């Protein structure tokens, strides 16, 4: 299935601290423990197992939503 992923865009997910901050801002401070115990470890497992940046055609870094940065993903090397 991975070979059929064309035009796949991956937002870098190594910034779990930012994802947790945004989640808490959206869902309330009572969800912080859930993000710390479930979301961040799950995200880390996914990134290690699947390595989506290597499959992506384009990586979209939205660390600053006002100035997204595009860079080539690892899929650019595939035929």
pLDDT in tens, 4-25: 555 555 666 556 788 888 889 9
Beta strands at 9-10 and 58-61: parallel, antiparallel or unpaired: parallel
pTM confidence score: 0.64
pLDDT in tens, 33-71: 998 999 889 888 988 898 888 888 888 887 788 998 888
3-state SS record for 38-67: HHHHHHHHHHHHHCHHHHCCEEEECCCCCC
What distance in Å separates the CA atoms of residue 52 and residue 63, rounded to the nearest whole number? Answer: 17
Under DSSP, is residue 20 helix (H, G, I), strand (E, B) or coil? helix
């Amino acid at each position: 299935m991975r070979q059929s992923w064309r035009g796949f865009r991956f937002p870098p997910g190594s910034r779990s601290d930012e994802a947790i901050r945004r989640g808490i801002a959206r869902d309330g401070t009572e969800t912080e423990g859930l993000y710390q115990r479930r979301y961040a470890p799950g995200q880390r497992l996914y990134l290690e197992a699947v390595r989506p940046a290597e499959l992506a055609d384009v990586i979209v870094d939205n660390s600053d939503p006002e100035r997204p940065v595009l860079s080539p993903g690892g899929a650019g090397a595939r035929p």
